[in-house]
Amino acid sequence: MSPQELRAGASLAGVFGLRMFGLFLILPVFAVHAPQLAGGNDLVLVGIALGAYGLVQAFLQIPFGMASDRWGRKPLIVAGLLIFAAGSFLAAGADDIWTAIAGRGLQGAGAISAVVMALAADLTREQHRVKTMAMVGATIGLSFALSLVLAPGLYALIGLGGLFSLTGALALAAIGVIVWLVPGVPMRVHGAAERAPGALRNALLDAQLLRLNTGIFVLHLVQMAMFVVVPPLLVAAGLPLAAHWKVYLPVVLASFALMLPPVLHADRRNAGRGVMLGAIVLLALAEGGFAASGPRIAPLAALLLAFFAAFNVLEALLPSLVSRIAPAHARGAAIGVFNTTQTLGLFCGGLMGGWLAGRYGAAAVFGACAALALAWLAVAIGMRPVNRIGGGSFTIGTVKGR
């Protein structure tokens, strides 16, 4: 990778990291804090608050992505970060569940994930794109992991309102990264959408993209549904919220060590499809194990390790595959569709997790997640084999001929 490609990958990964770290900080503590909010005893509303971000994003990812194809990536990213920060500060002042839901929804209106991923693809050559996407994907996983480790302690110091305020501040810091650190975008990319009126239709109907979109939907549905019930389970196992880092920290560090070999193997040995299928199997096994396990710390920690290892591998692989399939003139639209399904998964996971937990308990949540992971496996098995392209990267099927 050239110095500019390394700079682009690192700076955009930093933007994602700052934004997602602030977003994920809420997950480990919100379900435990929610009863202190007016209306927060209703687990369905708690799930909606966790997932409202995803629902609003689902409506705006494609418009943001298509707008960035026409008018440029950076202006759309800055606007989205400002909206996200406004939602964070609204939620920081919430004293009832409905204001928290409104704040989370406004956060979701800053729907820049697709634009950031498209910009990362614009700034890297084809043979290095999987590395760049892996950097961004790994940063999302790292942000998620760090939030689980740090959130309980920060919550004890500054409360839920402080966490939301910190989220807004991190979004504003990400604007500085975009303005001063991210390289400029080649002008040939802008305006290309005007020459491709069928870009959105193709992004929606491509069979290979549909398989990847199904996968990211299930992955983030499972993630959000789990964290409606995992923090209370750890509390029930005798671990106070402020001490949850004692489980999350070793689990997170170990999961990243486990993630690296399969991701590198996927890139170097032309094994992206096989690694993806193996990670889906591990995800399904972890969720099934959660369903059969009670509130005991050691089994919960082991199952969290399996979940995070699978999650981190898939979070790195899936966006890199989408970016390789989509042609440059429609990349914003294709990644917009991908991120729309991702954020729909976040909303549906929060809603499903809250509804099932409130009526049938945590085991039902994990059982449903395991069933969905198996359904994803059935869809993913039909994916065409990965074809090698020069430079050590990979793509799927016949896309290299597009």
Q: Find tokens 């923090």 and name the residue.
A: 231
Amino acid identity, position 397: G
The answer to whether residue 361 scores a pLDDT higher than 70 is yes
Domain presence at residue 123: yes
Q: Given pLDDT bands bounded at 50, 70 and 90, which one contains residue 385?
A: low
The answer to whether residue 235 scores a pLDDT higher than 50 is yes
What is the three-class DSSP state of 394?
strand
> Which pLDDT belongs to residue 398?
33
- Number of folded domains in the chain? 1
Rounded average pLDDT over 376-396: 61
Which pTM was predicted? 0.72
The CA-based angle 40-45-51, given to 5 degrees, is 120
Domain presence at residue 253: yes
Domain presence at residue 192: no
The answer to whether residue 225 scores a pLDDT higher than 60 is yes
Q: Find tokens 């496996």 and name the residue.
A: 377
- Mean residue pLDDT of the chain comes to 80
Question: Is pLDDT larger for residue 163 or for residue 25?
Answer: 163
Q: Spell 359-389 as b/e; 16+ CB within 10 A means b.
A: eeebbbbbbbbbebbbebbeebeebeebeeb
Separation CA 161–CA 213 (nearest Å): 34
> Which pLDDT belongs to residue 198?
58
Contact 154, 23 (CB under 8 A): no
Six-digit token pair at 388? 């090698």
Domain presence at residue 402: no
Question: Is pLDDT larger for residue 264 or for residue 330?
Answer: 264
Residues found in the chain: 402
Contact 54, 347 (CB under 8 A): yes
| 127-147 confidence digits (pLDDT tens) | 666 667 667 766 776 777 788
Q: What is the DSSP string of 258-325?
A: HHHHHHHHHHHTT-HHHHHHHHHHHHHHHHHHHHH--S-HHHHHHHHHHHHHHHHHHHHHHHHHHHHH
Rg of the chain taking only CA atoms, in angstroms: 20
Question: Is pLDDT larger for residue 261 or for residue 339?
Answer: 261
Q: Given pLDDT bands bounded at 50, 70 and 90, which one contains residue 7?
A: confident
> Which pLDDT belongs to residue 256?
81
Of 358, 356, 382, 378, the C-alpha closest to 367 is 356
CATH number for the domain spanning 214: value is: 1.20.1250.20
Of 134, 113, 61, the C-alpha closest to 321 is 134
> Which pLDDT belongs to residue 11?
82
The CA-based angle 54-331-210, given to 5 degrees, is 60
Domain presence at residue 155: yes
Q: Given pLDDT bands bounded at 50, 70 and 90, which one contains residue 88?
A: very high
> Which pLDDT belongs to residue 200?
61
Contact 333, 200 (CB under 8 A): yes
Question: Is pLDDT larger for residue 337 or for residue 194?
Answer: 337
Six-digit token pair at 73? 């990536």
Domain presence at residue 7: yes
Q: What is the DSSP string of 181-219?
A: TSPPPPTTTTTGGGG-TTHHHHHHH-HHHHHHHHHHHHH
> Which pLDDT belongs to residue 294?
78
Q: Find tokens 């409905």 and name the residue.
A: 98
Question: Is pLDDT larger for residue 115 or for residue 305?
Answer: 305
Range with top average pLDDT, 12-21, 250-259, 355-364? 355-364
Separation CA 25–CA 147 (nearest Å): 5
Domain presence at residue 400: no
Long-range contacts of 239-246 (CB under 8 A, 24+ apart): 239/297, 241/28, 241/29, 241/32, 241/152, 241/155, 241/156, 242/152, 242/153, 242/155, 242/156, 243/152, 244/28, 244/148, 244/152, 245/148, 245/149, 245/150, 245/152, 245/153
Q: Which domain holds residue 282?
A: 3-184+200-388
Torsion over CA: 365, 366, 372, 375 (sign): negative
> Which pLDDT belongs to residue 127?
61
Domain presence at residue 100: yes
